[in-house]
Amino acid sequence: MKRLNKSFPALTRGVVAAGVLMAACGALWAAERTFKLPRPFKEYPGYEYNDFPIPVDYLDKHEWTRARLRYPSFLNVHGYYADGFNRWTVDYPRSDRHLLEGVRRLTRIDSKSVEQVVDLDGDDDVFNWPIMYAVEVGYWNLPDDQIAQLREYLLRGGFFMCDDFHGTIEWENFMRVMKKVFPERPVVDLDNKDPIFHVIYDLDQRFQVPGMQYVVYPPHRLYEYDGFVARWEGIYDDRGRVMVAICHNMDLGDAWENSDDPRYPEKFADLAYRIAMNYFIYDLSH
């Protein structure tokens, strides 16, 4: 059974629960092949956090889970982190768990309190998770077999959101991989009229969301490298559904991560949460 793709009218906060019916079916779209149960939750070593508390209900069953992609990466696009730093772990898991608490507070999605780390490893487990998120994709380095599985994941109804990569060099490396995933599909600017910006919140006034270090510490700027302008882009499937949502020259992950820190401006955290809620509800309803 394929994952359902039927579109629904735009949802308001009061009826968000309707979209969760699709999330409950998420595991079913793996049944095109031999069905396998989802892998259990596992926490991995992170670059920034290795002792962040696990919520007490992390083993409870819920209808919706957001996956985080673990991927192989380059080390030295800008000459940094030659020690083998795993780029996929940026802000992990603090950012994920703050965000998922926000999902529970701002919507009626029955969300799991912890993230699910997934791999494009040839196994069918990735197909159990309809929405997948990745950071620092300006450094990813997917081999051909992972590129093929990412393409299959998206064409079968998956939704991929990427964030926290900046400037020309990181964009070019991101696109080097994405052009292999979809050589026939362009990356386009998402029009402000697209439902993804209006499905729950009207996001007509969008602005660049910076990383914590660029707000709190000198030189107090909003951009990294030459990433002066935030870019809201995506890739559509044949039905006009956004299946890849690209947040370039912004750092939503930092905004979620530091949303409880009074040094981080509320206006940036507020927009980052609204973007996430819209993208998640869009995926559930399209």
- The domain total for the chain is 1
Q: Give the pLDDT confidence score for residue 215 in this predicted structure.
A: 86
Q: Looking at the domain assignment, is residue 7 inside a domain?
A: no
Asked, for residue 204, whether it belongs to a domain, the answer is yes
CATH classification at residue 263: 3.40.50.12140
Do the domain assignments include residue 3?
A: no
Q: Could you tell me if residue 1 is inside a domain?
A: no
The predicted pLDDT at position 149 comes to 98
Profile the chain (286 residues) by mean pLDDT over runs of 10 residues. Answer: 32 40 43 70 92 95 96 64 70 98 96 98 96 96 96 98 97 97 98 97 97 87 94 98 98 97 96 98 96
Give the pLDDT score at 31: 42
Q: Domain range for residue 125?
A: 13-285
CB atoms closer than 10 angstroms to residue 220: 9
User: Is 145 among the domain residues?
Assistant: yes
- Given this model, what pLDDT does residue 34 score? 56
Task: Indicate the pTM of the whole model.
Answer: 0.87
CA 230 from chain center: how many Å? Answer: 16
CA proximity to 134, closest of 177, 103, 167: 177
276 domain residue, yes or no: yes
**What is the per-residue pLDDT for 20?**
42
